[in-house]
Amino acid sequence: MSDAPQQIIQLLNEGAIGEAEAMLEANGGPLFSFVHGYEALNQLVMSATEDALNNNQMLLSCYCFSLVKAGRARRASALLASKREIYSSVFLRDLMELVVFIHMSDPVTDEQFERWKHLEVLLPIDQPLYDGLYYNCMAIVLVRLNRLSQARIIALRSLESYRQAKHTALEFFIHLHLAHIDILEGNIRSAHRATDMARAMLAEEDAAHISGAALVEILDCAIAWETGRFDSVPERVVYLRRQLLSGDSWAEIFVELCRVGALSIYFAQGLESAMAFLEDSQTDFHRRHGEFSEALDVIGAAVELLDGRHERAQLYATITETSRKALGATGAIVLGGVLGKLESDAEWLPLPDAGVSTRHAVVGELSKATQAKLERDKVRQRRHVQNAMRHAVREGLVGLFLEHRDLVIGVSSQLASGKFARGHIQLGRMARRIHNLVRTSYLTPVSLSDRGVSAQQLRVLSALREGASNKQIARKLGLSEAAIKYHLGRLFVSFEVSKRGQLIEKFEESINS
């Protein structure tokens, strides 16, 4: 520890609060931890009396930074709210409120956003570290508001400010934010570059990032899911989630980890394991951010929908605008996929910056294919899936097709030939890969496979349990009613029953055994 922090700590131990405050202000003030490190910050906070911490704007700001670092952002928020009057600087008060806010998961109100926007004109001149911190926080706020294009611009401004301040440790986090924005937009090649940059900086400054390696790995897992190379993801996500409880993190990265973790676990291990992961994640999210996450519930609904269970997904057909705002960009993306699959008049939730991102282009075509499937128009369904692949191939987006597997399975065998690619080798390979992944993604529990139940019959059983008629099942699975009757006949024989109710009962006994 350098001389200045030691001198401030000594003054605090001696009770010389005024002298300590003056010296603290000359050594970073509220940004003391960014100049001297969190170890020095913690010693400073422990050296100050409770009265000094609660009644001095510089010390209170440092105390709030230490609380946020320890995962107690809600405590810091309550403290700031009760001590607003001690701040002589409106800029510092509102900036601290913003810094604490991004470590919680609360939705952004219009009043907050307008107030924080006006902070930009109050930024101290020739202090790039303040600029960088402000733009860093606003980039996270914009992601929470689903304004990804604006978030990217603001993140780049933060990057420039941190570079001007020569603060590599904070520049590292901006590359993470940029990678996350790229992933949400489906720009995987750019996300690779951003994570590679963060990884290189981590190698140079590893002492400054206790949890940095875990944050980079979370984004690596997200890229792995999006590109369909997620075999190793299920075994890592629980460890990574635990890392977020004690190190640097923010709500958006937690939700992103849970999205790719739940999906990867579902396709590798099945519904029960995926839902158990989400249940534990909700508990850990509450421990870290002080509340439960609506976005994690939406992810649960999406996973259940993949398994043919519509009950929870259907609840979101009438979700209010206020609830939508609480989801953030990741939750909104998942909800958009859920609403696009429901057979209802629910308004499909547009993805961030509609018409701009690769993800939006792919999902837009898949939503059109869904409508064609409902209308029993396989030619149009196949054409839209092909168009989706054309949009996806440049970035190698594969995970989206697994997320819409019930749509793809009906036409993927025709796409597997790659004829539609017309000499586009990469597109042809991608079509075959998606076909193989989708075809093998329907996991049949051992208790059912022992009865000879096929993946297709499992889909029929799942739809039957939802109370669907033969006609509705045929429409949902893209099959003929004759095919449904054939599969049901085989299932009656396999389960040794003669009625639909008995079949459902035996099915539930098998999967719960």
For residue 391, give Cα distances in angstroms to 330, 351, 370: 20, 16, 17
Q: For the stretch 338-364, what's the b/e string if a residue is b when 16 or more beta carbons lie within 10 angstroms of its beta carbon? A: bbbbbeeebebbebbbeeebbbbbbbb
Instruction: Give CA 399 to chain center in angstroms.
Output: 14
State which H helix or E strand residue 132 sits in.
helix 128-144
**Fold classified for 446-512:** Arc Repressor Mutant, subunit A (1.10.10)
- The burial class, CB within 10 Å (0-12 / 13-18 / 19+), for 31 is buried
Q: What pLDDT, on a 0 to 100 scale, did the predictor assign at position 209?
A: 54
In whole angstroms, what is the distance from residue 31 CA to residue 25 CA? Answer: 9
Structure tokens at 118: 């006006």
Q: What pLDDT, on a 0 to 100 scale, did the predictor assign at position 351?
A: 47
Q: What pLDDT, on a 0 to 100 scale, did the predictor assign at position 462?
A: 77
- Please answer whether residues 292 and 286 qualify as being in contact, where contact means their C-beta atoms are separated by less than 8 angstroms: yes
Helix (H, G, I), strand (E, B) or coil at 259: helix
Amino acid at 171: E
**Helices within 205-293 (DSSP H only):** 212-226, 237-246, 251-269, 271-289
In whole angstroms, what is the distance from residue 219 CA to residue 121 CA? Answer: 33
Q: What pLDDT, on a 0 to 100 scale, did the predictor assign at position 478?
A: 67
For residue 127, give Cα distances in angstroms to 31, 37, 130: 11, 18, 6
- Please answer whether residues 433 and 399 qualify as being in contact, where contact means their C-beta atoms are separated by less than 8 angstroms: no
Q: What pLDDT, on a 0 to 100 scale, did the predictor assign at position 354?
A: 44
- The burial class, CB within 10 Å (0-12 / 13-18 / 19+), for 94 is buried
Q: How many Cβ atoms are within 10 Å of 46's Cβ, its own excluded?
A: 12
State which H helix or E strand residue 52 sits in.
helix 50-54
Domain-wise residue ranges, the chain? 1-87, 357-439, 446-512
- Please answer whether residues 307 and 406 qualify as being in contact, where contact means their C-beta atoms are separated by less than 8 angstroms: no
Question: Mean pLDDT for each consecutive 10-residue tract of the chain (513 residues)?
Answer: 82 89 89 88 91 91 91 91 92 94 91 94 91 97 94 97 92 96 96 96 64 93 97 96 85 96 95 95 92 94 89 85 85 90 56 67 91 86 93 96 88 77 88 90 76 80 79 77 88 87 83 63
